[in-house]
Chain A
Amino acid sequence: MEESSNTFLKKTLLEDLLDFSGKVYKICLGFARNPWEAEELMQEVYLKVMKNLNSLHDTEKKREWLFRIARNTCLNHCRRERLYKNLLFRFAGFHNDHPSPERHLMRNEQYRIFKRSVHNLPLKMKEVFVLYTYGHLSYSEIADFLGIKEGTVRSRLNRSRRDILTSLKGEHHEKPDKKGS
């Protein structure tokens, strides 16, 4: 009897957590190179969630718990990816076999530079940037979530933005010069 009620609770909890799948997907999208990779990451996150539902004691903090798992999974993915960065860049980059309008964005040079610069950010800056820009979390939420001060969040976000803009503008302006030369 107790076991069945426990299973029911877990099921409802998982259903509740599934409501955040959109946000989790967006966070994963920030860390991933493409939507398919983001989907894989999201599924990985939810599989971890399902396996570790017992470790969630405070159900009121389920959202934070879910985002923490998402962030850890994505960071692990990034670390793993860096090991064989070159290989992935060549073979698992953007899929070019799908002729559709959204491919236009993928082929957009500015977007590609942006994505690469996000990808090249240090992990500490990257997580703040993704959680703020993609996950739409507030400064205080990110600070609580990462266990750092709000000021640190702001400075990290600022630095990451600066880095991205530098590479965006720099590479964007360099291009015509290169062509010209």
Chain B
Amino acid sequence: MKNPTKKDLDIIEKLVQKEQKAADHILPEEKLRARLKYRLFQERKKRRFLLRYRKPVFVTAGIVAAAILVFMVLIIGKQTAFLSFEKQIASFLENSAGIKTLAQWEELLRHRTESTQISATVFLQHIRKTFEEAREKALSENQDSLVLRKPQKPIFDTKRRMEILFEEKAVHRFLHRFMLEKKEEKNG
């Protein structure tokens, strides 16, 4: 095709003009501008909302809060992870070896159950079981073994403590009363 003449160019020009006119009719410039401004405003608002939290105060506060949360998780995790149930009972027994009164027992038990988040019933059942196992073991060992000389270290130190505890009437009375209360609660 040869170079376009003026007449040819007019065709294009007219088409473009018509298109622009039609577009202006469909979306008038004022409307277009208003919609554009609205969208920009919305976007700016969004960005502002996010930027508000980019200030150093919020960032620091966020970091501190996260650190505290991590520490708390670690501490709680440690308590539950490193103190197994057996260890908890052992420490409980060790700590309570010399306690004889009911009030002291109650106080100690409440404290232990609250701090370890374990129900008192479960705790007491485990104590009972441990007591019985320890007593049977201690009795059988005492019967079978022949002690020729006095051991340098007390072998049955913990077991002995358990035995003492087991024989204590106060503990028995307490456990008995506790279990009765629980049963009554269950039966309504």
Contacts and interface: CB of A to CB of B under 8 A. Distances in A.
A164 B23 CA distance: 21
Interface in B1-17: 1, 3-4, 8-9, 11-13, 15-16
A42 B32 contact: yes
Taking chain A's interface residues, is the majority helix, strand, or loop, or is none over half, making it mixed?
helix
Contacts of A110: 15
B101 to A, nearest CB: 69
A102 B36 contact: no
Binding site of B, secondary structure by majority: helix, strand, loop or mixed?
Answer: helix
A111 B19 contact: yes
Contact of A21 (B13, B25, B36, B43): B36
A29 B16 CA distance: 10
Interface residues of B, number: 28
A133 interface: yes
A116 B32 CA distance: 25
B12 A162 contact: no
Contact of A39 (B15, B32, B40): B32
Nearest to B17: A133
Given A21-B33, A162-B3, A134 B16 contact: yes
A114 B12 contact: yes
B68 interface: no
Given A36-B26, A47-B43, 11 more contacts: A18-B37, A21-B36, A22-B29, A29-B23, A102-B25, A105-B22, A106-B22, A133-B12, A162-B1, A165-B1, A165-B11
Interface of B: 1, 3-4, 8-9, 11-13, 15-16, 18-20, 22-23, 25-27, 29, 32-33, 35-37, 39-40, 43-44
